[in-house]
Structure 1
Amino acid sequence: MTHTHRTKKRISTDASKRWLRKLRPVVLALDIALLTACAVGPEYRSPPPVDTGSGWTQPVAAASVPADMTRWWLALGDPELARLIDTALAENLDLHQAEARIDEARALRDRVAGNRAPTIDAVASVNRRRQSENGPLPIDSIPDLEATQTIYDAGFDAAWELDLFGANRRALEGASARLQATEVEAQGVRMRIVGEVARAWFNAVGAGQELRTQQAAVMTLQQALDLVRQRAALGDASTADVDAAYVQWAAANAAVPDIQARQRAAVLSLGVLLGAPPERELALIDAAPNVLMLPTLPVGERADVLRRRPDVLAAERRLAASTADISVATAELFPKLSIGAGGGFQALSTGDWFDSPSERFSILPLISWRLFDGGRVRAEIRAREAAERQAALAYEQAVLIALGDAERTLSDYKAGLDTLAHRQEVLDTSRRSHGYAEARFAAGDIARTELLAAERLLYEAESSALRAHTAAAVQLVALYKALGGGWDADRFAERQSQARDVSP
């Protein structure tokens, strides 16, 4: 090694040491900043307390553990209903849209998370340029410096803003809370779809049962009308008797198209709910399913409703996000520390491009502090605080609405069961009366017209009982939905707890 090379190496080493000594205060300041970093603004702990009352306002079925409502429809023992719901959960377009909204919220959350990491850009360029010989740099007077040059450059540029006051951390918390709200709202869509499928199926089944009963009643009234007409031809009945029998037959017959339309409408709506053309399930019109046995629902404690209802959980997550937004806005009042760094190789010849003497490097710590902005930051803080108050009130309202829905639907279902019980008593009595009429007719004690009148009353009682049963079944669906049935709230709460544990 020549003396000149040894001298250059020693000068380069000494320069590096001097540069490292200059960087020590920057590194020390960076360490102190990282150690003292904190989040400003309020920290979300839990939603505000809401008075939920002491319990249900009316007696409910005793149950030490609430019924499993994750897939409540399986407890009804209807395989056709289970098939329809499973198909809807796989194919319904509203659910697919909800899944797309989750993907969008997750991507937005990941974008916010990316703000916490440094950005690094790789750069490479070949710059052919000519400098003016008459410009500020005396090109012609500098030895070995040509006016026309080709500069080869490759390297990286990096930038990192330190999260001294928790703006990025709180922004990530807010984005995560909004993602969770979107996820739970998707479960709310799932609950709604399950409820709509069950309600449409119960309406279709009830209408089908009612249609068969009504058609049987029409046949009975047709026979009665024929008998009255025969009696009128023999002079044993008046024209008024014929007209009265005809009116009864016509009224019963006019009700048939309405029942058919209700049945068809319910089946057509099933097709759309299953993400298919409306006519997909038209074959169900000809099916004759058994009448559903309605359970007495163990609803558990009233406070359990709040941990099952997606609207309540979504409102709580949006409140958490609004609280984080305040901290993000508050952090704008404080200084920001960012570090920029760059490095690479630069040379005038490709042969020297990646040699050690061609190395370049720079580091630039930067502190910025907004001293005056016309009050915009403080106005933004007030706006975020107002939004948080709105979110808190929306949460309280969601709690009260959930309790109101549960109380109302529970009352409706109990009333529906009571009505069904009374209709069933009337039906049982009508069946006994019809049995007596059949026995008396066989013994010759009554005419056929009286037997047909007993049959007409029996069919009317059956139609009333079927309508009451359908109404109670629809009310049962509404009750399950109001109680938060149809999704696994416990699993969501577990995932939420895990997300809090791993959050920075």
Structure 2
Amino acid sequence: MKSATPASLLRPAAVGLPPLPWRPLTLALSCVLLTACAAVGPDYREPPAVDVGNGWTLPLATASESADLTRWWSTLDDPVLDRLMAAALSQNLDLRQAAARINEARALRDRVAGERLPTVGAAASVNRRRQSENGPLPVGSIPGLDATQTIYDAGFDAAWELDLFGGKRRALEGATARLQATEVEAQGVRMRIVAEVARTWFAAVGARSELHAQEATLDTLQQTLELVRLRHAMGDASAADVDAAYAQWAAVNALLPDIAARQRAAVLGLGVLVGAPPERELALLDGPMAPSTLRALPVGERADVLRRRPDVLAAERRLAASSADIGVATAELFPKLSIGVGGGFQTLSTGNWFDESSSRFSILPLVSWRLFDGGRVRAEIRAREAAERQAALAYEQAVLVALGDAERALGDYHGGLDTLERRRMALEAASASHRHAKARYAAGDIALVELLVAQRSLHDAETATARAHTNAALQLVTLYKALGGGWEAPEAAARSADPTSGAAVPARIASSSR
């Protein structure tokens, strides 16, 4: 039998070095420290300034103060609308789905972050086995070796792929940017829900005002019809006059069911928007519905639009994610170093299971490198670069679309306010004419039919004014939505950003004058 190996040969030759099994691991960790800062692929840079006309350019840079439109509906002093908004923001199912998408994106980012760390597993086993005495190992002929054995084993295994060229770092940057884009898009859903609640409520209020005006018109036409029928019975009016008066009454009477249906449909829609059964808000049909006071809106600079628009900020975050994807693909061109470490205790008896003599240990550094793959990696890099160009163009398009939406909505709202003002002037004129007609009728200067004509003109003006007010209110909602009103900048995006990744969501978009 061979003599035992002297213990001195198992000791390291140099004083101060770690034990022999840990020396390769120490060298590997030294390599990690030397290459930790390497990261292939382009570093993300803010997109260039987009020319938005009127002598302004909008780079993604520092913040500037702008009007707070996060709760713009509160300026309308409508308690019913305030209650509906609070219910929708807390219970709307679209918003709850958006929150779930944020949680999903955050979990995916955490998974990517976890890939940068070692994986460690522990296991313990008891293996009872019998080896063949006639097999390749002559168990039966070896003294003291039993063919039947019970092996007790407990230990750990660890594996770590070092991020030598920053592929995992770029992957984390991309996942962080996508999380931030998801958070901003969720605020876009909030903005849309706010607009839908306001639009639906204004439609219900407008339908109520129009219904009251048409009912008053119908009452006037009913009086006119009865008067014409009385005159026809007395021989002062023809049958054609009766038919004409009845036709006018029937035409207005036919409008009422449609207006009432529109009002009910709007209230049913409010129930769904607040995350409840449609009939939840039917009680609003029996309560007061006062039109809101509309006024000119201080829009501010054109840069404020882009600073508040979630679609613009989300497009910028997707551009950042596309840039990081290039680095992930480029890292596949370079070698990969992974280290596997295992250790534990193995014995044939539980009595010395955890003795030093029962210990086992292994370390396996592994270097892998794609030397030939048919050009697949370089093709993937080109594809990621093309995707980045698409994302850059999508960002520029989002900027222009946002400005176009704001310009159109602003023009429509100003036109709606102008129309409403003119309708009010016409209503004042019709009211004055009706007052004069009532005075003349009381003095006996005109007949009842002339008073009813003036009264109908007044109700027609009220109907037109109610419609103009509803249109202007809906245009106001569209304007607030185009300006990015009704969304709150997500603080979670800044908290979730990796401090070493260099990727942080831009909270605002600043403007600079030429």
What is the TM-score of this pair, normalised by structure 2? 0.91
2: CA distance, partners of 1:286 / 1:23: 81
Aligned-pair CA distance for 1:144: 1.7
Aligned residue identity for 1:54: N
Deviation digits for residues 444-474 of structure 1, max 9, x if unmatched? 1111111111010000001001100000000
Aligned-pair CA distance for 1:308: 0.8
1: CA distance, partners of 2:500 / 2:162: 20
Taking a change above 3 Å as real, the CA distance of residues 158 and 374 of structure 1, as seen in their structure-2 partners, is same
Matches for 1:328-477 after TM superposition, within 5 Å: 328-477=328-477
| Structure 1, gaps ≥5 residues long | 1-6, 57-63
Deviation digits for residues 377-434 of structure 1, max 9, x if unmatched? 1111111112111111111111111111111111110110011011111011111111
Aligned residue identity for 1:381: I
2: CA distance, partners of 1:69 / 1:149: 77
Deviation digits for residues 248-292 of structure 1, max 9, x if unmatched? 111111111111111111111111111111111111112222221
Aligned-pair CA distance for 1:29: 4.6
* Match in the other structure for 2:511: none
Aligned-pair CA distance for 1:238: 1.2
| Higher mean displacement: 26-35 or 337-346 | 26-35
Equivalent residues, number: 488
Aligned residue identity for 1:366: L
Aligned residue identity for 1:35: L
2: CA distance, partners of 1:501 / 1:109: 14
SS for the counterpart of 2:172 is helix
| Higher mean displacement: 404-413 or 131-140 | 131-140
* Match in the other structure for 1:318: 318
SS for the counterpart of 1:303 is helix
1: CA distance, partners of 2:374 / 2:317: 33
Q: Does the CA-based 8 Å contact 2:179-2:493 persist in structure 1?
A: no
Say yes or no: does 1:195 pair with 2:195.
yes
Deviation digits for residues 172-211 of structure 1, max 9, x if unmatched? 1111111111111111111111110100000000100110
Aligned residue identity for 2:29: L
Aligned-pair CA distance for 1:225: 0.7
* Match in the other structure for 1:258: 258
Deviation digits for residues 214-248 of structure 1, max 9, x if unmatched? 10110011001100110111111111211221121
2: CA distance, partners of 1:416 / 1:267: 24
* Match in the other structure for 1:162: 162
Q: Does the CA-based 8 Å contact 2:406-2:479 persist in structure 1?
A: yes
2: CA distance, partners of 1:434 / 1:84: 39
Q: Does the CA-based 8 Å contact 1:152-1:347 persist in structure 2?
A: yes
What is the TM-score of this pair, normalised by structure 1? 0.93
1: CA distance, partners of 2:328 / 2:348: 47
1: CA distance, partners of 2:482 / 2:438: 47
Taking a change above 3 Å as real, the CA distance of residues 346 and 175 of structure 1, as seen in their structure-2 partners, is same
Q: Does the CA-based 8 Å contact 1:232-1:242 persist in structure 2?
A: yes
Matches for 1:17-416 after TM superposition, within 5 Å: 17=12, 20-21=19-20, 24=23, 27-37=26-36, 38-54=38-54, 66-416=66-416
* Match in the other structure for 1:496: 494
Aligned residue identity for 1:193: I
Aligned residue identity for 1:357: S
SS for the counterpart of 2:50 is coil
- Using the aligned pairs only, state the percent identity: 71
2: CA distance, partners of 1:99 / 1:14: 63
| Structure 2, gaps ≥5 residues long | 57-63, 503-514
**Whose helix proportion is higher, 1 or 2?**
1
Q: Does the CA-based 8 Å contact 2:39-2:327 persist in structure 1?
A: yes
2: CA distance, partners of 1:253 / 1:142: 111
SS for the counterpart of 2:365 is strand
2: CA distance, partners of 1:142 / 1:315: 74
1: CA distance, partners of 2:448 / 2:498: 77
Q: Does the CA-based 8 Å contact 1:161-1:338 persist in structure 2?
A: yes
Aligned residue identity for 1:28: L
Taking a change above 3 Å as real, the CA distance of residues 497 and 410 of structure 1, as seen in their structure-2 partners, is farther
* Match in the other structure for 1:60: none
SS for the counterpart of 2:302 is coil
2: CA distance, partners of 1:350 / 1:368: 40
1: CA distance, partners of 2:173 / 2:8: 46
Taking a change above 3 Å as real, the CA distance of residues 298 and 20 of structure 1, as seen in their structure-2 partners, is same
* Match in the other structure for 2:506: none
Aligned-pair CA distance for 1:91: 1.0
SS for the counterpart of 2:12 is helix
Taking a change above 3 Å as real, the CA distance of residues 426 and 400 of structure 1, as seen in their structure-2 partners, is same
Q: Does the CA-based 8 Å contact 2:176-2:496 persist in structure 1?
A: no
User: RMSD of the alignment, in Å?
Assistant: 2.0
Aligned-pair CA distance for 1:139: 2.3
